[in-house]
Amino acid sequence: MATLGIPQNTIAILQKYNFNFQKKFGQNFLIDTRVLDRIIESAEITKDDCVLEIGPGIGTMTQYLAEAAREVVAVEIDKNLIPILENDTLAEYDNVTIINDDILKVDINKIVQEKNNGQPIKVVANLPYYITTPIIMGLFESHVPLKSITIMVQKEVADRMQVGPGTKDYGALSLAVQYYAKPEIVANVPPNCFIPRPNVGSAVIRLTRHDKPPVEVKDEAYMFALIRASFNQRRKTLLNGLTNAGNLGVTKEQITEALEQMGLPATIRGEALTLEQFGELSNLLKA
């Protein structure tokens, strides 16, 4: 069986099945063995692990995962890829389960129960730009037992996940990711490592799940509503952003008072607050 990390083997498979790339699924297949090795190494995959792979494509990374892990569950949305995976690229592996479905509709908790006795799994994925945030947030918010998520994403999205206050990339995504996990960019990946070549650079980022969140909040959903409202209109002050939100159930006076209690000026913008400060503000307003 040919390793797919080698470009000519990938091209051969695509030609054999007369495969057409689907723009709507944002398909870009990896053709660089060094990047693949780096992903497996960064995700710290061992023979004890059950791995959930999102978007296996033609099975390039799945082959590497199957060699390294005890069990791999690969969820692929594009039905045209299923025959390639089942009859060809993954046919030799008895530790891989292929599911043809949309990851946002899959009951991941059920997979964790069946395949890993409810123990935390590791997630590995090469994600298209438009669906990165819903998938990551879906995994965290559904409280699926997770050790880590190691994903290839657009470079600017990876940057956004790991920056702190006061930078232009800092926003709701940074705060949400950092509430649930410790983000770390482990590799930058240029466009020529993919077929077809994307127009932008990519990066592999590992999100290691916190045992418990770094801030204690009375109401998680409320804190995130607060965060979203603060960044909805970035140029406005935090006070105006929250007052205009309408779904937070607080008055301008209450917000001003809470900021005062925290020793923050009424003119401060959302992008200046740390996760801890958003947690504190959320608890004050909730009370």
Using a pLDDT cut of 70, give the percent of the chain over it: 99
Mean pLDDT of the region 8-31: 85
Higher-scoring residue by pLDDT: 146, 1: 146
Angle 85-89-94 (CA atoms, 0-180°, nearest 5)?
Answer: 80
Q: Is 268 helix (H, G, I), strand (E, B) or coil?
A: coil
Judge if 148 and 240 occupy the same domain. Answer: no
Of the pLDDT bands very low, low, confident and very high (cuts 50, 70, 90), residue 23 is confident
Residue 214 lies inside a defined structural domain of this protein: no
Judge if 125 and 146 occupy the same domain. Answer: yes
Judge if 123 and 39 occupy the same domain. Answer: yes
- For residue 1, what pLDDT is reported? 60
Judge if 61 and 159 occupy the same domain. Answer: yes
- For residue 231, what pLDDT is reported? 92
Q: Is 221 exposed, middle or buried (0-12, 13-18, 19+ CB in 10 A)?
A: exposed
Of the pLDDT bands very low, low, confident and very high (cuts 50, 70, 90), residue 26 is confident
Q: Which of 209, 244, 275 is the last residue of a domain?
A: 209
pLDDT at residue 102 is higher than 90: yes
Judge if 195 and 232 occupy the same domain. Answer: no
Residue with the two structure tokens 């797919």: 4
- For residue 228, what pLDDT is reported? 93
pLDDT digits (tens, 9 = 90+) for 46-89: 999 999 999 999 999 999 999 999 999 999 999 999 999 999 99
Residue 2 lies inside a defined structural domain of this protein: no
Contacts of residue 15, defined as CB under 8 A and 6 or more positions apart, other chains included, come to: none
Question: What domain range is 228 assigned to?
Answer: 220-286
Q: Which of 147, 176, 209 is the last residue of a domain?
A: 209
- For residue 3, what pLDDT is reported? 79
pLDDT digits (tens, 9 = 90+) for 189-215: 999 999 989 999 999 999 999 999 999
Count of domains in the chain? 2
Judge if 144 and 47 occupy the same domain. Answer: yes
Average pLDDT taken over every residue of the chain? 93
Residue 83 lies inside a defined structural domain of this protein: yes
Judge if 134 and 247 occupy the same domain. Answer: no
- For residue 5, what pLDDT is reported? 82
- For residue 260, what pLDDT is reported? 97
Q: Which of 153, 175, 209 is the last residue of a domain?
A: 209
Using a pLDDT cut of 90, give the percent of the chain over it: 81
Asked whether 74 and 62 are in contact (CB, 8 A), the reply is: yes
Residue 54 bridge partners (DSSP): 75, 125
CA distances from 227 to 112, 164, 208 (A): 31, 14, 22
pLDDT at residue 284 is higher than 80: yes
- For residue 246, what pLDDT is reported? 81
Residue 232 lies inside a defined structural domain of this protein: yes
- CA nearest neighbour of 44 among 69, 27, 7: 69
pLDDT digits (tens, 9 = 90+) for 150-165: 999 999 999 999 999 9
Q: Out of 34-38, 140-144, 158-162, 256-260, which region has the weakest mean confidence (pLDDT)? A: 140-144
- CA nearest neighbour of 209 among 278, 122, 279: 122
Integer-rounded Cα Rg, in Å, for the chain is: 21
Residue with the two structure tokens 């046919």: 91
Judge if 85 and 226 occupy the same domain. Answer: no
**CATH classification at residue 244:** 1.10.8.100
- For residue 2, what pLDDT is reported? 66
- For residue 203, what pLDDT is reported? 96
